Amino acid sequence: MSEDVDRLLDLRGGVARVWTRYTDLVVARASGSWLETVDGERYLDYTCGIGVTNTGHAHPRVVAAIAEQAARGIHLQQNIVFHEPGLRLHERLPRHFPNPRDGDAYALFLANSGAEAVEAAVKLAKYATRRPAIVAFRGGFHGRTHAAMALTSSGVKYRGHYEPLPGSVYLAPFPYALRNPTGRSDEAALQFTLDAIDELFATLVYPEDVAAFVVEPILGEGGYVVPPDGFLPALREIADRHGILLAVDEIQTGFARTGRFFATEWTDATPDIVIMAKGIASGLPLSGILAPRALLDRLEPGAHGGTFGGNAVACAAALATLDVIDDEGLVEAARRQGDRLLSGLRSVAADHPSVAEVRGRGLMVALEFTEPETLKPMPERAKALLAAALERRLLLLTCGTYGQVVRIIPPLNTTDDEIDLAIEIIGESLGAD
Ligand SMILES: Cc1ncc(COP(=O)(O)O)c(C=O)c1O
């Protein structure tokens, strides 16, 4: 190894230890589904940088759009001027609003990170309704700023020792059939959630004081839990009854990840606010919210904003990302390759009683490890799978409150051979149980 590489590896000690670290790899370049380290090893990246590089690493069309816009202007500040990629994105992205209502026009507000988009959604809901409270769901993850932390309950490490957090946030159970206390069916899990919301309104907060439900269509950090299809429509109905807004956090589920452009489209529920980030710009920091224009424009000039929101280069990357999703048929690809991955994983996991469930939608796929009888979470099994897969040059991530779930997040244009390789490696890495 050259002295330069040695020196680079030593510099890893300088990075703040607050970053949870899955690997010590130092990457020299990344392309498509693959990472190459400074010492020349190749890894199949089925983390997508936590669900971001849906079009693969460094897609040539995204790279070209970034280079072209960077040469024409990097920071063209939103309060001061308009810029071409921003204007085009404001026209184009609202067309993807899930289950739009006839006669509504939809609009976009852009920020930088997922947490910032969650803040924007909460601020909009409070400002527009003049109501103080938010109802979020147990196991949800919405980010690391103070309001986003207050909505987050996927793990105490995300919010513990940060009290006091913003108040008037109430948590209801997310329908999680495998862990539902009243029975392991979707019906029982949904009923448990709906009863808990009724109880919340009867005991802790009047529904007319609630500004919004904030909910992930599929639980991300909380364990890749796919709720019953009736869940979002049921929330929509409760929201309509009480004048509450429905804000869906599509940060991890959006941009074709689940085999629909947004996962909300697996149901017929129309949200009021769609919160987006991660896959929006194939890796450049960009996020935003979509809402009916009449709702979004309740925020008066200056009531929200930010120096970097809607960065020109990030908007150019987002437009190229949308082109790639359309031209390469990535919505359908996510569905097709998701089926291939799910069925392959189900067959390699069949002989492993500690795999309680192989689940997912599109290319948002996971295995949950539990003791077979008690359903006690087995994070050690998930950790061992990650380590064994890493040795075989496959990168995976965990999630779930106890770290008992392994999530598999391939790029949406991953090939059949790559999927089959990942299934083979996971099969070999499952070990004995
Ligand atoms: C569903 C969801 N919401 C919000 C966030 C926060 O996004 P960011 O890390 O960009 O602030 C994440 C990040 O993992 C997420 O998965």
- If you measure from the C-alpha of residue 17 to the centroid of ligand 1, how many angstroms do you get, rounded to a whole number? 20
- Percentage of the chain with pLDDT > 70? 100
Convert the pLDDT of each residue in 225-238 to its tens digit.
999 999 999 999 99
Q: Is the CB of 106 under 6 A from ligand 1?
A: no
Convert the pLDDT of each residue in 245-275 to its tens digit.
999 999 999 999 999 999 999 999 999 999 9
Q: Given ligand 1 and candidates 116, 122, 137, 142, which is best to mutate, with the most ligand atoms within 8 Å of its CB?
A: 142
- If you measure from the C-alpha of residue 226 to the centroid of ligand 1, how many angstroms do you get, rounded to a whole number? 17
In the predicted model, is pLDDT for residue 3 greater than 90?
no
- If you measure from the C-alpha of residue 252 to the centroid of ligand 1, how many angstroms do you get, rounded to a whole number? 7
Contact between 168 and 147 (Cβ < 8 Å): no
Convert the pLDDT of each residue in 314-362 to its tens digit.
999 999 999 999 999 999 999 999 999 999 999 999 999 999 999 999 9
Q: What is the mean pLDDT of residues 211-219?
A: 99
pLDDT band of 139, cuts 50, 70, 90: very high
Mean pLDDT value across the chain: 97
Q: Is the CB of 141 under 6 A from ligand 1?
A: yes
The pLDDT value given to residue 277: 98
Q: What is the mean pLDDT of residues 150-172?
A: 97
The pLDDT value given to residue 433: 81
The pLDDT value given to residue 1: 62
In the predicted model, is pLDDT for residue 114 greater than 80?
yes
Convert the pLDDT of each residue in 354-377 to its tens digit.
999 999 999 999 999 999 989 999
The pLDDT value given to residue 23: 96
The pLDDT value given to residue 371: 97
The whole-model pTM stands at: 0.98
pLDDT band of 31, cuts 50, 70, 90: very high
The pLDDT value given to residue 218: 98
Q: Is the CB of 224 under 6 A from ligand 1?
A: no
The pLDDT value given to residue 15: 95
pLDDT band of 432, cuts 50, 70, 90: confident
Convert the pLDDT of each residue in 369-407 to its tens digit.
999 989 999 999 999 999 999 999 999 999 999 999 999
- If you measure from the C-alpha of residue 397 to the centroid of ligand 1, how many angstroms do you get, rounded to a whole number? 15
- The atom number, within ligand 1, closest to the CA of 118 reads 4
The pLDDT value given to residue 419: 98
Nearest to 305 by CA among 124, 134, 126: 124
The pLDDT value given to residue 2: 79
Q: What is the mean pLDDT of residues 100-124?
A: 98
- The atom number, within ligand 1, closest to the CA of 140 reads 1
The pLDDT value given to residue 61: 98
- The atom number, within ligand 1, closest to the CA of 50 reads 14
Q: What is the mean pLDDT of residues 280-301?
A: 98
In the predicted model, is pLDDT for residue 68 greater than 90?
yes
- Percentage of the chain with pLDDT > 90? 98
